[in-house]
Amino acid sequence: MCSAPARWPALLFLSLLVVLLQACSVLRGTPAMPDAAAAGSGSGPAFALDIETGDDSIRDYLAQHMELQRFRQLPDLQTQELARLLGAADDDVRGLLATLGYFSPDITISLHDSPRPAKDQPARSVQVRVAPGPRTHVAGVDLTVVGDGAAPEDLARRQAQLRRDWRLPPGTPFTQQDWDAAKAQGLHRLQALRYPQARIAESRADVDADKSRAELSVHYDSGPAYRFGPLQIRGGERYDSVGTSRIARLPTGEDYSETRLLDAQQRLASSGYYDAVFLTLDTEHGDPQAAPVIAQVRDARLQKLVFGVGISTDTGARLTMDHIHNRLPGLGWRAVTKVSLDHERRLLSTDWTALPAADGWRWFTGVQLQREVTGSFDVDSTRLRAGRTQNGAHIDRSYFLQHDTAKSSDVGAPPSSSALSANYGWTGRYFNNNTAPTRGWGLAGELGVGSTLRPARDPFVRAQLRWQSFIGLGQVDMGDNLRRNSRLSLRLEGGALLARGGADIPATELFLTGGDTTVRGYGYRSIGARINNGELFGGRYMAVGSVEWQRPISVRGNRTDFESAMFIDAGAVADKPGDLSPRVGVGAGLRWRSPVGPLQADLGYGLQSHQLRLHLRLGYTF
């Protein structure tokens, strides 16, 4: 009876010893239980895969997605496992072909052994022969939109729009990818305007493999129609939420629009008061006709110092330093102070802006000190502005008083002068996208009335007008049922300063043109009026025009985010309308929809300057 307990420590010791020996064998790479059925220990592919079909796109698709490809690189693949894979390969290939619209293929799969394979070549090969048969095409489409709480006439109109823009119209090849994309596109179009809770109630694709035709049906449930309610800012504590919410300009009371929601989010994010902004429509609480919009924000720092380095084909290398104070003591205004140095200009400026009032108008003031190459002279200038501005959904307005001074120490330069003027500015933007437009138009004008102060007092009137429009020229087929518009970009700009012939107008009020955004093929502000000894100076009249053809590019049948451009620019500056003599530039370029905005690179040739110039520009502003 005393010996029984002594056996347990011995058994426990022997068990631990066995486990340790097995672990050591595993660490040395020796299996504890050798598998006699393993095919071998070679390092090459288990088999070669040969796909034969008359269509290269089908072959590439099968080679990429077939289940056999996943096991091909296993060197120890057993014969039994390979046989199982071959048995399932027929269904696998048929399923893949069905996603491409081929529902009646002829498929032959065979395994071949090579008794004497070449070096580094597998001893077995799998041959897949595919005759895809006729491709299925869409025969009919049934789209319906229904919903409670929505106006029947509006649902009928939206249903007609979905049918008109449907990606798989009758006659087009049917594929699973296009079918899923078409349903998703229709749903997104419903959700993007007025019906954010829309869903697919039912969808069906009836395929007749014998006749190679597919009948499609999708039924959408729109859900209730929504309107924007009040904006509620959450997470911000440092800044006046009432004032900052006015920057968003959310169209309270109007129909819900995803685009307008994102525009409001972008305006709030770019205001400088918040480091992060995310707007969502609250569809769970409240009345759909006044659904709250929740803005989750994270406050920006009260002060920020930003250093920048850049380069421009107009002005060369550039260094900048910006100091931002988001809430000036005592005023609560936002102040942006900037220092900028480049080859053509040295600038020191500060701009102070208040938060918008209930009517959207806000006060602003600014001071600018600048030394800039103006024509043939270095001009030192100052500018002081103060007034009010209002930014709307499409229209910006401003009125302000402005004081200018300008002087140059260069020999032959016009005398020092100063002026005081009252100005009004108006800008209307009706583009489909204000940062990267492809259609629409914009118009901007500025009118100023004032008087020079020294060396003599002379009244003057200054007017400037800009216009740009994008006109569609048809669609370019980019493949995969995707089409993009080509377009004509038209641009006009004109300016006039009316004053007595001998009046000494500050150089900052006169006109110069030429460069990346005006007349390509000429240097930055190199087109102006000529004065004594042929030297260049700003003029009292300006006219600029541009015609540009923009067209999407596909490379070897693959769509890209690039576009080609061909352009003709012309511009003239003079002190008298009759002396306007156009400088013409022609050229071509590329456009790229980059993640940070449109990038354009143009090569322009000046017909009068006989020079070839490269022009680079990032972003778009009007």
H or E, element range at 274: strand 274-281
Q: Do the domain assignments include residue 334?
A: no
Strand partners, 518: none
Number of domains in the chain: 4
What phi, psi does 266 have (nearest 5°)? Answer: -65, -40
User: What is the widest separation between alpha-carbon atoms in the chain?
Assistant: 131
Whether 71 and 180 map to the same domain: the answer is no
Q: Stretch 262-280: mean pLDDT, rounded?
A: 94
CATH of the domain at 279: 3.10.20.310
Q: Note the pTM of the prediction, 2 decimals.
A: 0.73
Strand partners, 511: 539
Q: Stretch 392-407: mean pLDDT, rounded?
A: 95
The C-alpha R_g of the chain, in whole angstroms, comes to 36
Whether 427 and 502 map to the same domain: the answer is yes
Whether 257 and 145 map to the same domain: the answer is no
CATH of the domain at 92: 3.10.20
Contacts of 154 (CB under 8 A, 6+ apart): 194, 225
Q: Do the domain assignments include residue 336?
A: no
Q: How far apart are CA 514 and CA 135, in angstroms?
A: 56
Question: pLDDT digits over 156-178, tens only?
Answer: 999 999 999 998 999 999 999 99
pLDDT at 258 exceeding the cut of 80: yes
Whether 295 and 444 map to the same domain: the answer is no
Q: Do the domain assignments include residue 320?
A: no
Residue 34 pLDDT = 33
Highest mean pLDDT among 147-156, 349-358, 546-555, 595-604: 349-358
Supply the DSSP string of 523-561, one letter for each residue. Answer: -TT-B-EE-GGG-EE-BSEEEEEEEEEEEEEEETTEEEE
Question: pLDDT digits over 68-87, tens only?
Answer: 887 777 767 777 777 888 88
More confident residue, 375 or 318: 318
Of 221, 248, 268, which marks where a domain is finished?
A: 221
Q: How far apart are CA 81 and CA 263, in angstroms?
A: 57
CA distance readout (Å), 338 to 39, 74, 92, 185, 329 = 73, 63, 64, 45, 19
pLDDT at 8 exceeding the cut of 50: no
Arithmetic mean of pLDDT over the chain: 87
Q: Stretch 500-526: mean pLDDT, rounded?
A: 93
Whether 426 and 556 map to the same domain: the answer is yes
Residue 573 pLDDT = 97
Q: Do the domain assignments include residue 475?
A: yes
Whether 452 and 469 map to the same domain: the answer is yes
Residue 23 pLDDT = 39
* Predicted confidence band of residue 246 (pLDDT cuts 50, 70, 90): very high
pLDDT at 554 exceeding the cut of 60: yes
Whether 437 and 564 map to the same domain: the answer is yes
Which domain range does residue 283 map to?
228-299
Q: How far apart are CA 105 and CA 55, in angstroms?
A: 13
* Residue at 296: amino acid letter: Q
CATH of the domain at 533: 2.40.160.50
Whether 465 and 499 map to the same domain: the answer is yes
Q: Do the domain assignments include residue 149?
A: yes
Whether 153 and 177 map to the same domain: the answer is yes
Residue 1 pLDDT = 37
pLDDT at 455 exceeding the cut of 60: yes
Question: pLDDT digits over 9-53, tens only?
Answer: 433 333 444 333 343 333 333 333 333 333 334 456 778 888 888
Of 131, 158, 190, which marks where a domain is finished?
A: 131
- Residue among 167, 165, 193 nearest 180 (CA): 167
Q: Which two tokens stand for residue 323?
A: 């100091």
Q: Do the domain assignments include residue 147?
A: yes
Q: Stretch 353-377: mean pLDDT, rounded?
A: 93
Whether 157 and 122 map to the same domain: the answer is no
